[in-house]
Structure 1
Amino acid sequence: MKKLNIEFSETFLSKNSGLYLVSLFAEKLSLCHYLKNTISIQRGTNAKYHASDVILVLIMNVIAGAKHISQCNILRNDNVVRTFLDWE
């Protein structure tokens, strides 16, 4: 996860920027490391992400307000969230 300088500009304006603090908390808990060591789902050789990354994205979407699996694209186009979570 990237460390960010907080700035108020139109370019990086997001209603989900509070998730930055949630992501810092998850990092302090070593949540990603714990998920990687606990989950034993084998992904294909062409998979870009580990299963733990997918679960972390799901958790972030639920915290952002997703109430149904079809709403789990809330953060997909949020440039601020994509920046601090290093989502490519």
Structure 2
Amino acid sequence: MNMSKAAQRITLTILAGLVIVPAAAHAAAPRPCEDMLKEMRAAKSTAKLSADDKAKVDALEAKAVERCNADDDRRADGFLDDAMKLMKK
């Protein structure tokens, strides 16, 4: 099989793309929301929050649980990250 240089480059580019894209997608996978939820609740149990901040954290936790139950780990993790920032953890 005698391929031209251009055909070889195209083939190598396609093969590289097939290897890199799944690796990048796996690296960006969210953490399991159940794990993040445990961490957030542990932090919340020791945090000293104002009534306003506690209400915000509780609302973010409720949204996270809803998304976690829907198997939407990425959005659940986002809500939990926001709650942790409010608690400065």
Structure number with higher relative contact order (C-alpha < 8 Å, ≥ 6 residues apart): 1
Is the structural similarity TM-score above 0.5? no
Structure with greater Cα Rg:
2
TM-score, structure 1 length as denominator?
Answer: 0.30
Identify, as 1 or 2, the structure richer in helix. 2
TM-score, structure 2 length as denominator?
Answer: 0.30
